[in-house]
Amino acid sequence: MTDIPDENSGRGRLEIGVDFNKVKRAVRLTNRLNRLTLDDEDAIRAAWSELTGRPVHESFRLIPPVYSDLGLNIAVGRDVFINQGCTLSDIGGIEIGDEVMIGPKVNLISSGHPTDPARRRKAVTGAPIVVGRNVWIGTGATILQGVTIGADAVVAAGAVVTRDVPPATLVAGVPAKVVRDL
């Protein structure tokens, strides 16, 4: 692994190796999960637990489809709701706190590639995304690697979050900026 400075957050991203067999596993498991009906909440939770390799609380709710490129680096708290069409690219890790609501078509992207053209096709970079307690992420928002969203914050629909979000704030726009305190 190589530490790469991140011009957006000031923290480093790690250049990491990716086991393509684990990617195939995640795609296979999400394909199976996505065939389940919304009425079968127990089966959805069981499939999610298999994907992430950890138990999920009975209060967890997910509306398929959902997409992930690894699955094993996702942790979710209690009373989490993930709406349909979300992508959780978890190579760099994704931690979702208690009481979080994630709208339709949200993208949590914890990995990417170096900007250096000579290394771009040869490496993957990653840094964790941390979503604090009681956060609401609106429809179609994108959260990029290395971002922490503070407790009680709201990310507006369509926002692209490239920097940390302070607790109890509303962020909006591309790139997302603080609109107001909550």
Which are the catalytic amino acids? 113
Query: DSSP assignment, residue 64?
Result: S
- Say if CB 84 and CB 103 are below 8 A apart: no
Whose CA is closest to 33, among 88, 115, 101, 77?
88
In DSSP terms, 102 is beta-bridged to 82, 137
Residue with tokens 């637990």: 49
Whose CA is closest to 1, among 94, 69, 121, 92?
92
Centre a 10 Å sphere on the Cβ of residue 39 and count the other Cβ atoms it contains. 7
The count of C-alpha atoms lying within 13 angstroms of the C-alpha of 88, restricted to the half-sphere facing its C-beta, is: 32
In DSSP terms, 13 is beta-bridged to 4
